[in-house]
A and B are shown apart, each in its own frame.
Chain A
Amino acid sequence: MAFDYEQYIRPSTFPHIWCPGCGNGIVVKALIRAIHKMGWSKDDVVVVSGIGCSSRTSGYLDFNTLHTTHGRAIAFATGIKIAKPRLHVIVVTGDGDALAIGGNHLIHAARRNMDLTVILFNNSIYAMTGGQYSPATPEGKMASTAPYGQVEPNFDIVRLTEGAGASFVARSTVYHAAQLEGYIAKALDREGFSLVEAVTQCPTVYGRRNRTPNPVTFLEHFKKDSVPREKAEKMTDEEREGKIITGIFVDHPRIGFIERYRKMSERASEVRKRRYIQGSGPKSEVGN
């Protein structure tokens, strides 16, 4: 029997704003199937997004949904999760939203091991604003603000979040929809900070500038040039050039922020009386 997506969407909000050939819908469907797999009540799921094409996802899904300001979804989500830890808080964001304007929140949520799952739609461009280059635009690619080609190197999202301390990091593409769904389900299941980079396509403002206006070309590229992590490890740097390396890169179960804070609160409650300002200890003088 075909999967019933409608139970998780808000039909009244359709049609969606995405262009024909956009890959975002594939990521959203993978996300819906993964949430379904978790067996959670829709009332307990929160989807928070920032600004950009992918961030419109929140409005289409029938959960508790919050469409925030540009780059700040993870920070809003942090407040929700801390205030009500029983909720499952998912952040939907794009490469511009999460890596440029929101980069600080991304690395610090990973460092804290904040109990959130981030689904990062990477289409290599600022699509909604008309195709300006993002921190994920590969060097040499054209963008509306890179008419001679992007001169900056791009972020490796996996290495960035791994280095910052995430518990779970994986990458897949919209061609590998089933694998993507599996990675998202694993991410949702993990304590602490988890992130799945979903490589997707923007034929309209990225493809047209880079001589790949046909969405099928993208999917063929994702199919042909994706290399599983295990295989990529045996390749030379030259061989890895232009490849999309997929797989689970980090899966280290670690205690998340919520549990660590709970334990600290227990200790704090045992402290019967302590003065805020005192003539002893590190605060040796009032006012310092």
Chain B
Amino acid sequence: MSNRVEVRFSGSGGQGIILAGVILAEAAAIYDDKNAVQSQSYGPEARGGASKAEVIISEGEIDYPKATNIDILLALTQVSCDKYSSDLKPGGILIVDPQEVKKVPKGEFTVYSVPIFQVAGEKIGRRIVGNIVALGAVVGLTGVVSRKAIEEAVLSRVPRGTEELNLKALQAGLEEAERLKAK
């Protein structure tokens, strides 16, 4: 069970949090040939307010499907950061969009600030691909799935005709990660 990795994406409804979770899980399960379980908040929560998607990745069987001891947390809003950061484990990684999350919680974890929506808006020209930029940043900073896997997973999920746009977004996220790691 030691290779169990728990990832939580959180934000507000409409940010594409759940799709990002599905893509990460598919990257792990289908393209990296590991096991993955993905679950999410349901109902009104998924349509606004604070929403979350959780992905558990493991080489072995995954028994308990919910995240309780988070390795990687992505927070795209202050509300979701406040609500979903309490079970981030010591030594874990917190990735926030600094434009949205002004008050970063304190704890024994590493914090990375990635201006996700600014990158999506300015570099790609479409804020809507923020979730894909975020995926790039998460994968670049943590290596939770391989780059090849996340690329293939993104390509298989995004609407036809938007492949190039989304690959650019993914690449932009990966570059942000490289920039931060080089610091």
Contacts and interface: CB of A to CB of B under 8 A. Distances in A.
A279 B19 CA distance: 7
Contacts of B47: 288
B50 to A, nearest CB: 14
A280 interface: yes
Contact of B22 (A280, A281, A286, A288): A286
Q: Is the interface of A mostly helix, strand, loop or mixed?
A: loop
Given A285-B16, A286-B22, A279 B42 contact: no
Contacts, number: 27
Nearest to A280: B159
A195 B105 CA distance: 69
B40 interface: yes
A279 B40 CA distance: 16
B101 interface: no
B4 to A, nearest CB: 23
A282 to B, nearest CB: 12
A15 interface: no
A104 B61 CA distance: 48
B66 interface: no
B158 A279 contact: yes
A166 to B, nearest CB: 39
A279 B157 CA distance: 7
- Contact count band on B: 10 to 19
A278 interface: yes
Contacts of A281: 159
Interface in A225-243: none
Interface in B16-45: 16, 18-19, 22, 40, 42
A285 B159 contact: no
A287 B157 contact: no
A285 B158 CA distance: 11
Contacts of B18: 285-287
A288 B14 CA distance: 10
A35 B22 CA distance: 57
Given A279-B159, A285-B18, A288-B46, 16 more contacts: A278-B157, A278-B159, A279-B19, A279-B158, A280-B159, A280-B162, A281-B159, A285-B16, A285-B19, A285-B46, A286-B19, A286-B22, A286-B40, A287-B40, A287-B42, A287-B46
15 contacts: A278-B157, A279-B19, A279-B157, A279-B158, A279-B159, A281-B159, A285-B13, A285-B14, A285-B16, A285-B19, A285-B46, A286-B19, A286-B40, A288-B46, A288-B47
Interface of B: 13-14, 16, 18-19, 22, 40, 42, 46-47, 157-159, 162
